[in-house]
Structure 1
Amino acid sequence: MEPSNNTQISRFLLLGISKEAEIQSLIFGLFLSMYLITVFGNLLIILAVSLDSHLHTPMYFFLSNLSFVDICFTSTTIPKMLWNIRTQSQVITYEGCITQMYFYILFAELDDILLTVMAYDRYVAICHPLHYMVIMNLRLCGLLVLISWVLIALYSLLHSLMVLGLSFCPETQISHFFCELSQVVQLASSDNFLNNIVMYFAAVLMGVGPFAGILYSYSKIVSCICKITSAQGKYKAFSTCASHLFVVSLFYFTALGVYLSSAATHTSHSSTVASVMYTVVTPLLNPFIYSLRNKDIKGVLKRFYFMPSLKDQIP
């Protein structure tokens, strides 16, 4: 049988997290709450960093970029899922699916790269504290972020263009709540061998590469901390990277959980449930981790909270 030409398909069907109609309202309320908390929490961090001059440092510059990427990351998938539940529809257009796939890959990989850049920033701060502001100058920080955006945008574009070359049967069903690259590629009715090769090679490159960079940075950090003689000095040095280490662990363990669950069970439903941790829960927890463990962020947020009441008391 001749495979359907990809120009004939106009839409995909997203099956979502569950087919049970009675729990759709619960899923809608839960994910809407998590989405709003994610956006609000990350916006608070961006606002705090932007408005307080004491936070205009490389570490908080990268943190505000990470918060912005997390907002975009969740906004790529959750609003469409909520809209489909609200309208009792499973439809996403072909163009919408490709667009969603592009931005999902873009922001997911940007998360990964920014965490690597932040690990390098912590390495310089702890191992070369006297030269920190010279090495991590404004030009270098801006350049690192710009290069990350350009490279990942091209990387995401490559995958999207390769999917555009595939053919799909009409009314193709995706057992997910968003257009996930590997599932879409496997559902193609045309030859997807080249797509699989590029996809797995890129996954290893973009997964192992940044992770190796993070491990190298932290191996140097641990080595420097061990050379500090005082316990207070060791605690202070470790506390400067504790939040980042927590976020890195959360990011990679949830991503690994998605991969292992799909590889072990070979069922799309288990992969869908596991990916909720990666796509929703991790961006939700990031602002809490950074704000609760960071005295500077907490101090700025408290000042902004009490500032209106103080202004009202001034005659």
Structure 2
Amino acid sequence: MFRLFSPRLLPVVMLLAAGACTAPRAITHSGKVTPQGQFKVGGNMGFNVGTASVGKITTAAKDLVKQAINRDSIRYEEGFDRVQTAALAYVLDPTAATSDLYVRYGLLKRVDVGYKYSFGAHSFDAMYQFMGPLGTPEKPQGQDGAMYGSAGLQFSTQKVKLPGIPFLEETSDILGFSAKRIDLLVPVVFSHSFGPEEQIGNVSYGLVYSHTFLKYGFEPGKIFNYIPGSNRVLDRVPSLMERRSFGALGGFVNLKLGYRYAYVVPALAIYYQNFGKYQLLNNKQARIKGLTILPTIGLQFRIPAGKNR
């Protein structure tokens, strides 16, 4: 019988969840943008389940790193290919707890803008409402069940670090691994109002495209190549710095429930991405692909202000 992952990987999953940040890709928007002059503030907590990162962190890779960490010089072995692939898979598709805080402001009648801080990643976005009425719960223009639609663009940037936990922290020390990523997110959101102008909440759904630009490198100062059958050092493994980009397509659904000023927002997003081919040390390469599942739950508060109050 097929299982998503073995129970033996559960400790790995729990360790990864203990300390990590990732660019936000959960979609908690509705099709209705923040009314002009008003604010929304809130926060979300969830879990980024990346099948690629779980699958690449193997027992063999962990044992190799554990044996090498205290050596002055390290012989390059085939197992280091798996160690590098695991580090890359983590920054591309982490299995980690997620959290964020955000604020949104209605800039124009059909446009709102927002900032989100994900404890290591900074995101800026704007949404344009192309469908549905533009009223507020105080001054409604739409009826219960009205449909809304919007599209937007989110820009996120972060310097990625492997978390300070066994195996990954040691991997960073041995390989001198570093990475930086920029993420673009383009969601198209449709929603149905509960009550006039989402007074009671809404249900939202849609599609989202993301594109990631990654710069990564390895500086293995104490890893050497050796002549087969000899203990004589051949040369130091040279450093590596590469750039890659990849796209992903996903779908999402979220629910907003409350009344006028305060709402609970559970959400679920699922992405599939073929990350492509990545250069490793010693002219080796790795291919990575995987499914990402992002369940979240959050609180959102609406702050009426300005002429629409």
**What TM-score, normalized by structure 2, do the two folds share?**
0.25
Answer 1 or 2: which has greater strand percent: 2
Structure with the larger RCO, 1 or 2 (CA within 8 Å, 6+ apart): 1
**What TM-score, normalized by structure 1, do the two folds share?**
0.24
Answer 1 or 2: which has greater helix percent: 1
Highest Rg: 1 or 2?
A: 2
